[in-house]
Amino acid sequence: MPQRPTHAERSITASGLARLLARLDPDPDRAAQEYERLRLMLVKFFDWRGASPPDECADETIDRLAAKLDVGTTIDHVFRYAHGIARLVLMERARRQAQVPIEQTDPSRLRAAWPVTPTPPLRECFVRCLAALPDESRRLVLEYYDGAVGQKKIDDRERLARALGISDNALRSRVFRIRHRLERCTSACVAAADARGLDAALRHVTGVSDTSDEDS
């Protein structure tokens, strides 16, 4: 099975992972493919609902699913059960996020559904880095995270993908790349502001690299 990025909070055990793979398919190769399909489904679930970072939310869901299997919990339909766990993880993340003041937010984890009133220098750095994006990338990321919620968000993103002539997955991948560059630029600017002052940091924000890969 392909290696996944590890997160400090991951709790999956070898026995839990083995049980999960066995439930997905008796054949190891097909089980690995089903694992990737399950994880992609979960990443999509969290991304479309604004949970961040969606890959870590997906991994947390898989860890909990594996733990349930490891203690002998009866699970008739793995994907359906995983979806139920994902909904719980989503609610817990939203609850925790609501309790964290913006001034305590790690700039490196700046969400693409950005807060309306972040504190300086986060606000100034973010605005400068956003302005430094190529026009097309800036419009795309702002349309993708336009504040809509629920089914309207899903419908709007589907329409955006169709307008660009790409798949939903390709749209997500493209936005993720833009968001990563924007977060990296913002984090570097905030760090420079701490070291040299905000004015100096803002002067050094230039065009944010936007070499787009070909989407399929």
* Percentage above 90 pLDDT, the chain: 22
63 pLDDT higher than 50: yes
Mean pLDDT of 23-38: 90
Is the Cα torsion angle 158, 159, 165, 171 positive or negative in sign? negative
> How confident is the model at residue 9, as a pLDDT?
56
In order, the DSSP letters of 154-190 are HHHHHHHHHHHT--HHHHHHHHHHHHHHHHHHHHHHH
In angstroms, the CA 214 to CA 49 distance is: 26
> How confident is the model at residue 102, as a pLDDT?
39
More confident call, 176 vs 117: 176
137 pLDDT higher than 70: yes
- Provide the token pair at 166: 């790409």
Tally the C-alpha atoms within 13 A of residue 24's C-alpha that lie toward its C-beta. Answer: 25
Please state the φ and ψ torsions of residue 113, each to the nearest 5 degrees: -90, 75
The band of 65, judged by pLDDT with boundaries at 50, 70 and 90, is very high
> How confident is the model at residue 213, as a pLDDT?
44
> How confident is the model at residue 216, as a pLDDT?
43
> How confident is the model at residue 100, as a pLDDT?
45
The band of 145, judged by pLDDT with boundaries at 50, 70 and 90, is confident
**Domain-wise residue ranges, the chain:** 14-98, 103-203
